[in-house]
Amino acid sequence: MLSEPPTSTFEKVGFIVDSMQLCELLGRRANGEWYKSIRPTELIERAKEVLNTGVGTQDGGACLAPDFEFCAAVVGPLGKDEYLAALGSFKLEEAFPDINPQYYGFHVDPFEPHRVWFMSRSTATHTGSLLGKPPTGKKLMLPPQQFHLDFTEDGLVREIGFYVVDRRQGNTGGLGGAFGYFYGTGNPLPIPECQPYKRSKRFRLLNFVGRIGTRLKELKGEGK
């Protein structure tokens, strides 16, 4: 765990700070060791290089560390071989030749200086076969997603993960990643995780009981 930065540092830069500036002020420290070989600006450039090679899918995994893991909201952690095999079987680039992840907002985490955060608003048109199903011509807009890439000091990717940050946007049922492409084209996997979010019966019952309780209190107050 990283030690908490001194209060005086926050007083110098203010409560809301630029992560790049804070990284320079606090130093590049992760797991008790200083990152001397990669500065924050260089780490961001490295992240973009990795993304341009498909995060290991177009370079045979050369950019991935031996202990690499993929870990998303409901999938993972997957090791290097599992990750490459899974993405290779989906063949999303063949099903969506114009796929555009539209990455933006790159910044280094000031408290985990080996991590690069960035956003994505992917778009794609289904013009090729997907999981053996014919193209539908549908134009997909995935919800905004928050990604992270963790690096070793040598610039290899140790971890990648992502999470949907607003499930009410886009036209893939609030689903991101490969699940979004499957659902958006009418080919969802037969598992709950590949379906739009739906409140459980227990959660709905809890909300109902809460509303009843609130209404009873209101009626009790009106009767006084």
pTM of the model: 0.77
Residue 35 confidence (pLDDT): 54
For 132-178, write each residue's pLDDT tens digit.
Answer: 999 999 999 999 999 999 999 999 999 999 999 999 999 999 999 99
- CA gap 3, 31 in Å, rounded: 10
- CA gap 135, 91 in Å, rounded: 13
- CA gap 84, 68 in Å, rounded: 11
- CA gap 209, 112 in Å, rounded: 42
Domains observed in the chain: 7-222 (3.10.450.50)
- Calculate mean pLDDT across residues 73-95: 91
Q: Is the pLDDT at 25 greater than 80, yes or no?
A: no
Q: Is the pLDDT at 18 greater than 70, yes or no?
A: no
- CA gap 195, 47 in Å, rounded: 30
Confidence of residue 59 (pLDDT cuts 50, 70, 90): very high
- Calculate mean pLDDT across residues 42-62: 94
Confidence of residue 216 (pLDDT cuts 50, 70, 90): confident
Amino acid at position 189, single letter: L
